[in-house]
Amino acid sequence: MKSFILKGDIAYSISKERTEYLENAYLVCEDGVSKGVFRSLPEEYAHLPLSDRTGKLIIPGLVDLHIHAPQFAYRGLGMDMELLDWLNAYAFPEEAKYNDLAYAERAYTIFSQAMKNCATTRACVFSTLHKDATVLLMEQLEYSGIVSYVGKVNMDRESPESYKEASAEESLKSTREWIEETKGRFENTYPIITPRFVPSCTGELLKGLSELSEEYALPVQSHLSENPSEVELVRTLEPLCPFYGAVYEKYALFGGDKKTVMAHCVYSSDEEIRLMKQNGVYIAHCPASNMNVSSGIAPVRKYLDADLHIGLGSDVAGGQTESLFSTIVEAVQNSKLYWRVVDQKYPPLRFEEAFYLATKGGGSFFGKVGSFEEGYEFDALVFDDSRIRHPQKLSLPERLERLVYLGGDRRCMKEKYVRGTQIDLDE
């Protein structure tokens, strides 16, 4: 049943400047696509079944532009380290375990159930180096009901022997096999080309991945300008490239005809920003991770003002939680600190701007996603925010802000729809 009506109190972004709030309104889904929100129900939809959610708060599904599935198993652990140390001490040894399919199944089952039950409806997901474990992850995510891009990770240099591919050739071979095995196989789960980041990929590997992206028409995800020591390492490894993003650009893995999302961009230079803008590269802003591994604060206001494509990422396990409500709050908080301690030229994000980033901003990476405007794919969440007790009446904008700030995704979410299909949430 992909055609129906939800009635309730509805909030969604039209643009970063404008949020729509309609109480007691009708949200129409036809064949998994939104027909819009109406104060009174148009005659033409009167025949559709109506689910009365009066008093409930309804918003678009949330979009996570950056999350590491194998790191979910150690979220909230080892948070006293900086990025490169943390990768070597925690991330790489943990990811290496996914060579064991039994372990992968145990861990990815937990991850996929979390994805199913949280407020995320779309995600760009990093897997590990392992082809088989990546296929398994895609099967699990398909079962979760969310829509995702999933990438087998590539690494052929500057990595521990226990977690590195033998050569660019080997890496490309297994990547091609993985693509062949998964492309077109799932309804909601798609492969995405995923060089881990410049430090761990040779030019030969990046070139080959670019060709695979071209050949199979696949999008690209990676990391960019996250941490000072990482940026410095890239400068040492690629002395001929004027800035970090120029390495991806050199191999045609930086937007343009290839849809591309880059995580972090905390230290992007003006040249890098210009190139991202020109090539339509997406930024996945991951504030929790940027704090946890001591990277810094990304200048999100600058990116918004420059009209770059930008959305939010939980970056589990650099970020400790998959909750994008937390990420919204952290994005606002970090932008306030940026304004206060870094540069008062850039005013803090308003709540509604961060809400936009988590929905329509990141959503456009997936097409018409993240809003309830007519023609948008129908991803929706229904919350019973009456569970958060309050001594007085609140307006709908206040209810939305409170729901997000108080982590209502964990306590109050009652229904979740992806492309018009209702997900069967676990209690």
Residues in contact with its own copies by the rule CB under 8 A:
73, 75-80, 103, 106-107, 110, 288, 291-292, 294-297, 320-321, 329, 332-334, 336-337, 339-342, 348, 350-351, 389-392, 394, 398, 401-407, 410-411
Residue with Cβ nearer its own copies (38 or 103)? 103
* Residue pair 292/80 in contact by the 8 Å Cβ criterion: no
Kindly report the CA angle at 87 between 82 and 91, in degrees rounded to 5?
Answer: 130
Residue with Cβ nearer its own copies (252 or 286)? 286
User: Residue 396 Cβ, how far from its own copies at the closest point, in Å?
Assistant: 12
User: Residue 235 Cβ, how far from its own copies at the closest point, in Å?
Assistant: 19
User: Residue 221 Cβ, how far from its own copies at the closest point, in Å?
Assistant: 24
| C-alpha separations of 188 from 213, 290, 337 in Å | 19, 29, 38
Residue with Cβ nearer its own copies (5 or 11)? 11
Contacts of 300 (CB under 8 A, 6+ apart): 285, 310, 331, 334, 335, 338, 349, 357
Q: 206, exposed or middle or buried, with CB in 10 Å at 0-12, 13-18, 19+?
A: buried
Burial letters for 241-255: b for 16+ Cβ neighbours within 10 Å, e otherwise?
Answer: bebbbbbbbbbbbbb
Residue with Cβ nearer its own copies (37 or 133)? 133
User: Residue 60 Cβ, how far from its own copies at the closest point, in Å?
Assistant: 20
Question: Which residues make beta-bridge pairs with 67?
Answer: 125
Residue with Cβ nearer its own copies (39 or 389)? 389
User: Residue 313 Cβ, how far from its own copies at the closest point, in Å?
Assistant: 16
Phi, psi of 17 (to 5 degrees): -90, -20
Pairwise CA distance, residues 309 & 307, whole Å:
7
Residue with Cβ nearer its own copies (11 or 209)? 11
Residue with Cβ nearer its own copies (76 or 160)? 76
Q: Which of 78, 121, 128, 75 is nearest to 101 (CA)?
A: 128
Edge to edge, the sheet with strand 413-418 lists 33-38, 19-30, 4-13, 50-60, 380-383, 413-418, 421-422
Residue with Cβ nearer its own copies (424 or 426)? 426
The overall longest dimension of the chain from CA atoms, in Å, is 65
Contacts of 135 (CB under 8 A, 6+ apart): 178, 181, 182
User: Residue 172 Cβ, how far from its own copies at the closest point, in Å?
Assistant: 30
User: Residue 90 Cβ, how far from its own copies at the closest point, in Å?
Assistant: 11
Residue with Cβ nearer its own copies (2 or 402)? 402
User: Residue 89 Cβ, how far from its own copies at the closest point, in Å?
Assistant: 13
Q: E strands within 218-265?
A: 220-224, 260-264
Please state whether 206 falls in left (phi above 0), alpha (psi between -120 and 50) or beta.
Answer: alpha
Kindly report the CA angle at 198 between 194 and 204, in degrees rounded to 5?
Answer: 80
Cis-peptide into 246, omega within 30 deg: no
Contacts of 150 (CB under 8 A, 6+ apart): 69, 125, 127, 134, 137, 138, 141, 189, 190, 191, 192
Residue with Cβ nearer its own copies (85 or 158)? 85
User: Residue 298 Cβ, how far from its own copies at the closest point, in Å?
Assistant: 11
Pairwise CA distance, residues 112 & 138, whole Å:
9
User: Residue 268 Cβ, how far from its own copies at the closest point, in Å?
Assistant: 16
